[in-house]
C-alpha cells in the first residue's frame, strides 16, 4: 500500500484594511495532509526470493522495469461534454471576485492571464496574492457537483483493464489536488486500475504543475519510470503535450471531435478518443482474440 501523502500594481486602489484581508502576507501553508483524508492507491509489486549462505530466505522487491503510461484526469478520462470544465470556470471566477474584490469582467481576465502564464489559476493566486491553495481547492474543485455528473464508465474501465500491466504501469498525472483526483476516478469506477497518482500538491508552495519540466521529473520519480524514453502520456492540453513531447515522452494529444484540430500538432500522436490508444500502441494491450 502506498500513501499519497500581488504584484504591487494589483494593490493600487485598495485600502489598508482590504490589503490586509485579501493579500495576506506572509502565508504559512498547512502541513501536508494535516486535515486531509488518507488517500491511497493500492500497488502490487513483484517480489524476488533469494537464498542466503546460512539457508535462510529473504524476500525483496524485484526491480520494476515497466514503462509508465501517464493518464491526465480532467477532460481526458471523462468527456468535455460533461461540462465539468464550465462549472469549474464559474467557481474559479467567483473565487477571484470574492477574494480579490473584482468585478466579473476583471475576474475573468485575471483568471485567463494566470492560466496562460502558469498553467493553473491557483499558481497566479499563490504567487501574487498569497492565497491559501487548500482554501481554493475547497471552494472550487471540492465544490464541484461531480456526484451529479460523473457515472461509472464501463467502456473506459474495459480499456484500462485491457492494458497489459506486465508490460506497462498505469499512473495518473494531474494538476488537481489529490482529493479531486481520487473523487473523479472513484466516481468513474476505475480507481483500482491505476497504480498511483502524481498530483499538484496544494499543501506545498511554490506549486509544481504541468507543463513545468519539474512536474514531469516528479512524475517520473514517483512512478519509478526506468527512463524518460519509457514514459507514455495522454492529455487534452496542447501545452502539456508539447512540453512532455519536448522532454522525450511518447505523447498523445486527445482532441475530442467537438474541438477543432490545432494548426500545429502538439506531439507525435493525436487522437479523437481514448479507444484509439489500442491502435497506436497494440503492444501494450492484451490480445482480444
In a domain, 252, yes or no: yes
The pTM for the full model equals 0.80
- The predicted structure's pLDDT at residue 289: 61
In a domain, 49, yes or no: no
Which three-class secondary structure string do you get for 79-130? CHHHCHHHHHHHHHHHHHHHHHCCCHHHHHHHHHHHHHHHCCHHHHHHHHHC
Kindly report the CATH number assigned to the domain that includes residue 207: 3.40.50.1000
> 279 is in which domain, residue-wise?
68-79+151-284
In a domain, 130, yes or no: no
In a domain, 105, yes or no: no
Around Cβ 268, how many Cβ atoms within 10 Å? 13
Short-list 144, 211, 153, CA closest to 187: 153
- The predicted structure's pLDDT at residue 251: 99
In a domain, 240, yes or no: yes
Number of domains in the chain: 1
The residue to which cell 506497462 is assigned: 168
CA distances 271 to 155, 160, 198, 224, 280, Å, are 17, 17, 23, 27, 9
CB 232 within 8 A of CB 281: yes
In a domain, 220, yes or no: yes
In a domain, 166, yes or no: yes
- The predicted structure's pLDDT at residue 125: 96
- The predicted structure's pLDDT at residue 224: 98
- The predicted structure's pLDDT at residue 60: 55
- The predicted structure's pLDDT at residue 13: 43
Determine the Cα–Cα distance for residues 289 and 269; give it in Å rounded to an integer: 26
In a domain, 167, yes or no: yes
Tell me the average confidence (pLDDT) per consecutive run of 10 residues in the chain, 289 residues long.
39 41 38 38 41 46 89 98 95 98 97 90 94 98 97 98 98 98 98 98 95 98 98 98 98 97 97 98 89
Amino acid at each position: 500500500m502506498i500513501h499519497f501523502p500581488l504584484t504591487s500594481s494589483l494593490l493600487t486602489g485598495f485600502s489598508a484594511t482590504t490589503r490586509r484581508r485579501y493579500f495576506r502576507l506572509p502565508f504559512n501553508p498547512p502541513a501536508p495532509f494535516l486535515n486531509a483524508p488518507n488517500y491511497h492507491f493500492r500497488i502490487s509489486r513483484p517480489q524476488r526470493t533469494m537464498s542466503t549462505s546460512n539457508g535462510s530466505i529473504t524476500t525483496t522487491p524485484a526491480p520494476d522495469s515497466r514503462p509508465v503510461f501517464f493518464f491526465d484526469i480532467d477532460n481526458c478520462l471523462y468527456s468535455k461534454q460533461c461540462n465539468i470544465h464550465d462549472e469549474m470556470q464559474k467557481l474559479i471566477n467567483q473565487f477571484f471576485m470574492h477574494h480579490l474584490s473584482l468585478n466579473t469582467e476583471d475576474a475573468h481576465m485575471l483568471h485567463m492571464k494566470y492560466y496562460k502564464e502558469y498553467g493553473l489559476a491557483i499558481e497566479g493566486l499563490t504567487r501574487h496574492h498569497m492565497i491559501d491553495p487548500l482554501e481554493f481547492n475547497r471552494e472550487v474543485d471540492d465544490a464541484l457537483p461531480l456526484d451529479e455528473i460523473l457515472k461509472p464508465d464501463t467502456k473506459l474501465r474495459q480499456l484500462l483493464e485491457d492494458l497489459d500491466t506486465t508490460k506497462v504501469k498505469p499512473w495518473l498525472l494531474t494538476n488537481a489536488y489529490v482529493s479531486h483526483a481520487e473523487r473523479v476516478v472513484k466516481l468513474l469506477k476505475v480507481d483500482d486500475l491505476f497504480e498511483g497518482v502524481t498530483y499538484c500538491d496544494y499543501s506545498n508552495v511554490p506549486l509544481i504543475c504541468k507543463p513545468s519540466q519539474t512536474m514531469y521529473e516528479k512524475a517520473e520519480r514517483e512512478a519509478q519510470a526506468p527512463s524518460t524514453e519509457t514514459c507514455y502520456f495522454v492529455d487534452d492540453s496542447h501545452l502539456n503535450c508539447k512540453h512532455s513531447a519536448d522532454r522525450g515522452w511518447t505523447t498523445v494529444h486527445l482532441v475530442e471531435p467537438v474541438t477543432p484540430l490545432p494548426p500545429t500538432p502538439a506531439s507525435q500522436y493525436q487522437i479523437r478518443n481514448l479507444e484509439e490508444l489500442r491502435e497506436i500502441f497494440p503492444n501494450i494491450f492484451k490480445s482480444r482474440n
